[in-house]
Amino acid sequence: MSKKICIAIDGHSSTGKSTVAKQLAKKFNYIYVDTGAMYRAVTFFAMKNKCFNENNLNESCLGSKLDEIHIEFKQENSSRLGEVYLNGENVEAFIRSMEVSNKVSQVAKLEEVRKKLVEIQQQMGKKKGIVMDGRDIGTVVFPDAELKLFMTASAHIRAKRRFNEIKINQPEVSFDEVLANVKERDEIDSNRRHSPLKMADDAIKIDNSNLSEDEQLKKIVQLVQEKID
């Protein structure tokens, strides 16, 4: 029997981290955890609880309410891929909006938020057999993960992917707005004080600017096989 491992996938926004993580979870019957969705859920919580003054986060407001936040992934069917629940409510439909995208980096950079979510994430990974994607999985959450990937692509290509995804539900959004958001998130994620986005020394870099989804999956599946066989 193949051994179970932890697969840590980090990288820039809109590089398809979640897509490939879900594909790997299905193929190897692993549990998938979307950490970006967890930060989006906290952002949605902050918005609902009026911790934003227009676009500016009131950090003390959110900090005082962190103990009220409970996040879990629930499977609605036989699939091992869960949807995000915030305090018992399925928030998948709300956390992918442009409004949340524009605010999530402010929330994700807070040390107390990251500490809370990292503790939850590490607990999830104790039994191995898990695929987790985010910004600091290989460097902070699972520094001992058996396989670490760092995914990237050009900002223009990533913005195009994100734009095509968003415009289905938000046709008023412009490409320039999405591109600006992608670049802003790169800047904030890479330069925040706590757990900045960076490639772990032992991570394998995957630049998918010119890779098809199938080509990328084939390449990564081979990397997983080498670790579990």
What residues are paired with 206 via a beta bridge?
A: 151
Strands 147-152 and 204-207: parallel
Q: Is the pLDDT reported for residue 56 higher than 60?
A: yes
Q: Does a structural domain hold residue 67?
A: yes
Q: Does a structural domain hold residue 207?
A: yes
Three-class SS of residue 9?
strand
Q: Does a structural domain hold residue 66?
A: yes
Give the number of other Cβ atoms within 10 Å of residue 87's Cβ. 13
Q: Does a structural domain hold residue 69?
A: yes
pLDDT higher at 79 or 25? 25
Q: Is the pLDDT reported for residue 214 higher than 90?
A: yes
77: CB partners within 8 A, 6+ apart: none
Q: Is 209 annotated to bind ligand?
A: no
Q: Is 11 annotated to bind ligand?
A: yes
Q: Is 70 annotated to bind ligand?
A: no
Q: Does a structural domain hold residue 182?
A: yes
CA–centroid distance for 170 within its chain = 21
Q: Is 18 annotated to bind ligand?
A: yes
CA distance 200 to 89: 35
Q: Is the pLDDT reported for residue 191 higher than 60?
A: yes
Is residue 2 within 8 A of residue 229, CB to CB? The reply is yes
pLDDT higher at 31 or 66? 66
pLDDT score at 34? 86
Give the number of other Cβ atoms within 10 Å of residue 144's Cβ. 10
Q: Does a structural domain hold residue 1?
A: no
Q: Does a structural domain hold residue 192?
A: yes
pLDDT score at 177? 94
What pTM, to 2 d.p., does this model score? 0.79
User: What is the CATH classification number for the domain harbouring 54?
Assistant: 3.40.50.300
User: Which whole-number Å values give the CA distances from 109 to 164, 190, 193, in the listed order?
Assistant: 27, 10, 7
Q: Is the pLDDT reported for residue 80 higher than 60?
A: no
Q: Is 12 annotated to bind ligand?
A: yes
Per the rule left: phi > 0, alpha: psi between -120 and 50, beta: everything else, 29 is left
Q: Does a structural domain hold residue 71?
A: yes
DSSP string, 101-143: HTTHHHHHT-HHHHHHHHHHHHHHTTT--EEEEESSIIIII-T
Q: Is 156 annotated to bind ligand?
A: no
Three-class SS of residue 91?
coil
User: Which whole-number Å values give the CA distances from 24 to 16, 205, 212, in the listed order?
Assistant: 12, 17, 16
Structure tokens at 219: 């390449």
Domain count, the chain: 1
pLDDT score at 165? 86
Q: Is 16 annotated to bind ligand?
A: yes
Tens digit of each residue's pLDDT (9 = 90 or more) over 218-229: 999 999 999 998
DSSP string, 16-65: SHHHHHHHHHHHHT-EEEEHHHHHHHHHHHHHHTT-EETTEE-HHHHHTT
Domain extent for 137? 6-228
pLDDT score at 77? 59
Is residue 166 within 8 A of residue 59, CB to CB? The reply is no
